[in-house]
Amino acid sequence: MTLKWNELDDRAVKTAKILAADAVEKVGSGHPGTAISIAPAAYLLFQRHLRIDPKDPQWLGRDRFIMSAGHSSLTQYCQMYLAGQTLELDDLKALRTRGSLTPAHPEYGHTPGVEITTGPLGTGIASAVGFAMSARRSHGLFDPETPMGDSPFDHYVYVIAGDGCLQEGVAAEASSLAGTQKLGNLILLWDDNHISIEDDTDIAFTEDVLKRYEAYGWHTQRVDWLSEDGSYAEDVVALDAAIEAAKAQTDQPSIIAVRTIIGWPTPGKQNTGGIHGSKLGTEALRGLKETLGADPDAMFAVDEEAVAYARANVVARAEQARSEWDARFAQWKTAHPERAELLDRILNKKLPENWESALPSFEPGKAVATRSASGKVIASLADVLPEVWGGSADLAGSNNTLMPGQPSFIPAEYSTGTFQGDIFGRNLHFGIREFAMGAIMNGMAADGLTRPYGGTFFVFSDFMRGAVRLAALMDLPVTYVWTHDSIGVGEDGPTHQPVEHLAAYRAIPNLAIVRPADANETVVAWKTVLEKAHPAALILSRQNLPVPERGEGALASAEGLAKGAYVLADVEGTPDVILMASGSEVQYALEAKDLLAGEGVKARVVSVPCMEWFDEQSAEYKESVLPAAVKARVSVEAGVAMPWRALVGDAGRSVSLEHFGESASGDLLFADYGFTAENVAAAAKESLAAVK
């Protein structure tokens, strides 16, 4: 079908260019360049391809749009305005000002219609891969019998990315996986303008990007608006044909390189790094408007007729798309009432009645690694929580992240002797790509129909930190399964032994770091994480840990974990000293309690699996666990003591690790570095002395 495009379309594009320039000019900062030059492509996408309903930004049947080049948020904001979705002119005038719907970078959960927070370059592409995977998994979960493309759960995921996104490793990681996954629903427009902040990208970026994507298994196309002879034409017809070809490609993701001139047509500033991230200034702004045939002195002068035309077009397309989709969705609902109930439950963010009865419990006596307990929990979720799926960055066997009996989410032709592939499978294989794993899970979680988890060694969580921070910022219910959580890793040595990681991750706001002390705490940890549905990391041991007796006459119930910290073992009356510990070190605190009792010192043991959840508790509860009057305190954790300072107080002592580990057996390192009952008891006596 040839593109229908008329003079009003041209005028709407001009309006977008001028609004982008004016919005930055008004606030005095921002990124006008790309928003000016990529406007025709973004307009074409929003007006002719993207299936959205401006009245219902959360419409399940919509296509997803992701502005990976998040600095160019105006590209999206101007199109949302022209489409009549969420934003009005006043919102554009309020760009980058406090509380506006138009923050500097698109923010998920803040501006309806923004699918994911972008700005850290490259992560948008990776999250888009997550959205595309989520779409396929959702099709498989709710409508597996229907051919791909015909289900109400099918849709396209469109991304606009710049040179920066394509230079970032996370985009390369995710794009490689997208090729293997044959994500035919993913379409990436690369604004190939050869400019980033330091001007010409030749200084750092010279490979043939399309060849690279071809090697990843992508369908690649090029649309040159800038010709060899230096002439420039915003050829929307050619781009439209390329988008059509990309949509027709059902078993490969697509990239379309659009060679543009940044800032075109801004006299004196186009094609320079200078227009990337600074306001144009009066002269260039007037020049741009004159070139576009607009009043050079008017600010925010919109072409009302063109705006009305664009909005009407989006409404008409939305009405048609809605009526087709609504009918298909209604049919699906009637045909599958149970699945419709499941969808309802998931959309309402509820867990099924009594789901927790599927969870395992562990008999005291036998020692169990918490990673292995976590694996048993994951296995137990298979039938009760079909929305839960996940995997690992090539460490499934070590992270215990496999859901037994479930096929792998890979095209069947990539099945191996070990893993049976199915495009609707459930076990995820991220490859050795931790950052992409994190950003992909963000896309899945933001899409909202599934609950992803992903594992790696805790020490390598550093590689995914940028994505974890975004999950915390967006408050996405992603679960990290980070195992091999301390020097307990042993022989693999200091490169594999986390030391500073607990502190570093506790420093991220809105992220729960949960380090259970034993198998039964691990069960409650998973249960609480799934119930709370916020970003959370499970920090799990490689090595076996004792499973102590709990209940009457023994240690307190592991249910206390849900409060973040709880009294695990107590004494008659007021304790002399409080021993706090997390994870594998709780056992030393318990042993120390007995040693101290032998010397007439009354020690309370508090298990502190999650400082963030403890922080949320009432003042009364906190006082009941850690009475202010008891100043003698000891923390025990195989990591830097920094996060414990507030809990131990001035007279407190920390049994901690302030240096890197070594390649040696974990048992030897624990003992040699002072993680023993004797040393904990000695620290308790020191603290008691300090109080006196």
Name the residues that contact Mg ion, by CB under 5 A. Answer: 162-163, 193, 195-196
Q: Convert 599-635 to b/e letters by CB count within 10 Å (16 or more is b).
A: eebbbbbbbbbbbbbbeebeeeebeebbeeebbbbbb
Minimum distance of ligand TPP from residue 175's CB (angstroms): 15
Sequence-separated (6 or more) residues with CB below 8 Å from residue 60? 152, 153, 329
Q: Which long-range contacts (CB under 8 A, 24 or more apart) does 408-416 make?
A: 409/133, 409/136, 409/137, 409/181, 410/180, 410/181, 411/180, 411/181, 411/182, 414/180
The 10 Å Cβ neighbour count of residue 311 is 18
**Closer residue to ligand TPP, CB minimum distance, 72 or 185:** 72
Q: What is the closest distance, in whole angstroms, from the C-beta atom of residue 195 to Mg ion in the complex? A: 5
When the beta carbons of 190 and 435 are compared against Mg ion, the nearer one is 190
Residue pair 567/560 in contact by the 8 Å Cβ criterion: yes
Residue 234 among the catalytic residues: no
Residue 560 contacts ligand TPP per CB under 6 A: no
Burial of 6 from C-beta contacts in 10 A (0-12 / 13-18 / 19+): exposed
Q: Which is closer to ligand TPP, CB of 154 or CB of 191?
A: 191
The reply on whether position 74 binds ligand TPP by CB under 6 A is: no
Count of beta carbons in the 10 Å neighbourhood of residue 433: 23
Q: Residue for token digits 């976590």?
A: 374
- 314 within 8 A of 80, measured Cβ to Cβ: no
The smaller minimum CB distance to ligand TPP, of residues 183 and 195, is found at: 195
Which segment (49-57, 113-121, 590-598, 620-628) binds ligand TPP by CB under 6 A?
113-121
Phi-psi region of 675 (alpha: psi -120 to 50; beta: other; left: phi over 0): beta
Query: Can you tell me which of 152, 164, 391, 583 binds ligand TPP, judged by CB under 6 A?
Result: 164
Position among 14, 71, 289, 542 found at the interface with ligand TPP (CB under 6 A): 71
At its nearest, how many Å lie between ligand TPP and the CB of residue 202?
13
Category of 475 on φ-ψ map: left (φ > 0), alpha (ψ -120 to 50) or beta: left
196 within 8 A of 273, measured Cβ to Cβ: yes
In the complex with ligand TPP, the residue whose CB is nearer, 35 or 681, is 35
Output the smallest distance, CB 45 to ligand TPP, in A. Answer: 17
CA distance 276 to 171: 21
Helix (H) or strand (E) holding 480: strand 479-483
**Which one of residues 61, 119, 253, 375 is an interface residue with ligand TPP (CB under 6 A)?**
119
From 30, 32, 33, 124, residue interacting with ligand TPP (rule: CB under 6 A) = 33
CB of 174 to Mg ion, least distance (A): 19
Told to check if 204 binds ligand TPP by CB under 6 A, we report no
The interface partner of residue 197, options being ligand TPP, Mg ion, none and the CB cut-off 5 to 8 Å by kind, is ligand TPP
Query: Count residues contacting ligand TPP (CB under 6 A)?
Result: 20
Contact mark string toward ligand TPP, 265..294, x via CB under 6 A: -----------x------------------
Instruction: Spell 268-292 as b/e; 16+ CB within 10 A means b.
Output: ebbbbbbbbbbbbeeebbbbbbebb
Q: Which of 11, 20, 34, 113 binds ligand TPP (CB under 6 A)?
A: 34
Give yes or no for residue 121 binding ligand TPP (CB under 6 A). Answer: yes
Query: Where does this chain touch ligand TPP (CB under 6 A) — which range of 157-165, 577-585, 604-612, 661-669?
Result: 157-165
Region class of 48: left (phi > 0), else alpha (psi between -120 and 50), else beta:
alpha
Q: Which does 121 bind (CB under 5 to 8 A by kind): Mg ion, ligand TPP, none?
A: ligand TPP
> Which among 25, 168, 434, 637 is annotated as catalytic?
434
Q: Is 163 in the site for ligand TPP (CB under 6 A)?
A: yes
- The upper half-sphere exposure of residue 466, i.e. CA atoms within 13 Å in the direction of its Cβ, equals 22
Decide: is 252 part of the binding site for ligand TPP (CB under 6 A). Answer: no
Determine the interface stretch with ligand TPP among 68-76, 327-335, 628-636, 659-667 (rule: CB under 6 A).
68-76
Through-space distance between the first and last CA atoms of the chain, rounded to whole angstroms? 86
d(CA 291, CA 36): 13
Q: Segment near ligand TPP (CB under 6 A), from 69-77, 127-135, 562-570, 630-638?
A: 69-77
Q: Does 436 contact ligand TPP by CB under 6 A?
A: no
Is the CB of residue 266 less than 8 Å from the CB of residue 278?
no
Residue 77 CB, shortest distance to ligand TPP, in Å, is 15
Instruction: Give Cα 206 to chain centroid, integer Å.
Output: 30
Residues 180-199 that bind ligand TPP (CB under 6 A): 191, 193, 195-197
Minimum distance from residue 664 beta carbon to ligand TPP (Å)? 37
- The set of residues, in sequence order, having a beta carbon less than 8 Å from that of 272 and lying 6+ positions away, is 195, 199, 262, 263
Catalytic residues: 434
Binding footprint of ligand TPP on the chain (CB under 6 A): 33-34, 69, 71-72, 119-121, 162-165, 168, 191, 193, 195-197, 262, 276
